[in-house]
Amino acid sequence: MNNTILSNAWRLIFLVLLQVLIFQRLSFGWENFNYINVIIFPIFILLLPFRTPNFLVVFLGFLIGISVDLFYDSPGVHASASVFMAWIRPAVLGLMEPRGGYDKNQSPAKKHLGINWFFTYSSVMILAYLFFYFSVQAFTFVYIVDIFLRTVFSFLMSMIFILAYQYLFDPGE
């Protein structure tokens, strides 16, 4: 139990530092519009163990989101998207539950459930996060085309790094 808490605490610190020191500076775009943002820190919420209570997942989502917001100078945008993603996590996990159920002592990682399951799970969650994030950032659906373009391009780049993270660090208790 303590090992799980410690490893998740280190993961939270590592992902926030990775996001704000490296990926914040990585942005690609054309002319005056920045279409691609690499967002990797939500993998912290994705990889929390199954037994983590839902209220704690939402609180940790807020904590990591507000931590990133402090560095991005975006008051509450990442926090709201992280809370949204943490809030829908139980529903997504419920829809994707395998026949034998989940082992409550594990994390929803590639190591335990396979790369196909993890790719589907992380894709749904990251798409929801990015669409919510860019919608709140624009604060109007007048820019729906821009919101969709940012979501799609950022999703592609973010998923490359999230899958690389899974293969490099192979997390999961």
CB atoms within 10 A of CB 99: 4
Structural domain tally of the chain?
1
Q: Domain residues for 11?
A: 2-169
Q: Which value, in Å, is the radius of gyration of the alpha carbons in the chain?
A: 16
Long-range contacts of 94-101 (CB under 8 A, 24+ apart): 96/120, 96/121, 96/124
Please report the DSSP string for 80-141 in residue order: HHHHHHHHHHHHHHHHT--TT---TTS-SSHHHH-HHHHHHHHHHHHHHHHHHHHHHHH-SG
Q: Averaged over 106-114, what is the pLDDT? A: 83
Is the whole-model pTM more than 0.85? yes
Q: Averaged over 15-29, what is the pLDDT? A: 80
What are the pLDDT digits (tens) for 48-66? Answer: 998 899 999 999 999 999 9
Strands 27-30 and 33-37: antiparallel
Confidence of residue 80 (pLDDT cuts 50, 70, 90): very high
